[in-house]
Every structure is written in C-alpha cells, then in structure tokens.
Amino acid sequence: MVGAKPDGLGFTIYTAYFFAPEENQWLLIASFKRPKTNTYLKNLYSFLENFEPETGNQARQATYRNQWAFDTKKGWVEINKITFTADATARIGYRKDYEGGNLGDGFYLKNCGFSNKTTAIKTLFERPLKNIKPQMNFEQLPN
C-alpha cells in the first residue's frame, strides 16, 4: 500500500507499507518528504521491471488482484479497469517480449524470456467487480 499526503507546508509525504500475513500486521517499508510539492497520488499504475539486462532471457510475471484506491471524498474505489502501457524500451521496439491482460480474477504483466507474445500498447482490460473492500484502519498504521 502506498500513499501521498500534502503536509500543508510545501511538502508531500510519501509512505509505503506491506502486509505481513505471518505477523498479521502492516509494516512500514519507507516514508519520505518531497519538497516543493503539494499533492495526493494520481495517475496510479503497477509495473514489472527488469533492472538487470543480463537476466533478460528469464521470463518474469506479476499478478495483480483485488486492487483498490482510497479517495478522501469517495472512500474505497475498486480498480477493475486498466490500460496496458509500456516503457521507452518497448515503445521503440528494443524488446518485444512483453504482455499483460486478464488472468483469472485479476490482471497480469509479463516480460522478458524472449517470448513471441506482445500485447498492443494502450489495450484496455476489465475484470468483474469483486466488492471485497480492504479492511483498513489508517490510524493504526505504523509511522
């Protein structure tokens, strides 16, 4: 879970957590203040990155299920529609082994591995709503 909150003094505080099921609690990954900003999160996206070019022969895949965003006016909003995008490497054709779309009850991203499959950039995908809202108490998150 990630968040951004303006502090009212010209900074935005960005914070990231993950839920540790073995401990049944949210743990803090990182939090930092960015100067000269005043924003909440916008233009949300998920990604799958390969930072080591020498492992480009190995396929990697990520699955995204039951994703939600919390809007201060609307509350929890389920994310069930996505647009497949790509980085500059894919857009200029250096790599063509990237794909994404629907997988079971979620979405997936896959890259590398020298696959012949490619998903067209800007393809829209939608999955049925699951209506399983996160059970969160923001006040109980660690600082």
Domain locations along the chain: 1-41, 43-132
Between CA 63 and CA 109, with CA 128 as vertex, the angle to 5 degrees is 20
| Low-confidence stretches of the chain (pLDDT beneath 70) | none
CA 65, CA 107: separation in Å to the nearest integer?
7
What is the distance between the alpha carbons of residues 85 and 96, in angstroms, rounded to a whole number? 13
The number of angstroms, rounded, from the C-alpha of 107 to the middle of its chain's C-alpha atoms is 11
Q: Looking at residue 13, what is its pLDDT?
A: 96
What are the tens digits of pLDDT across the range 4-25? 999 999 999 999 999 999 999 9
Locus of tokens 């909440």: 40
pLDDT for the residue numbered 37: 94
Give the span between the Cα atoms of 39 and 137, in whole angstroms: 22
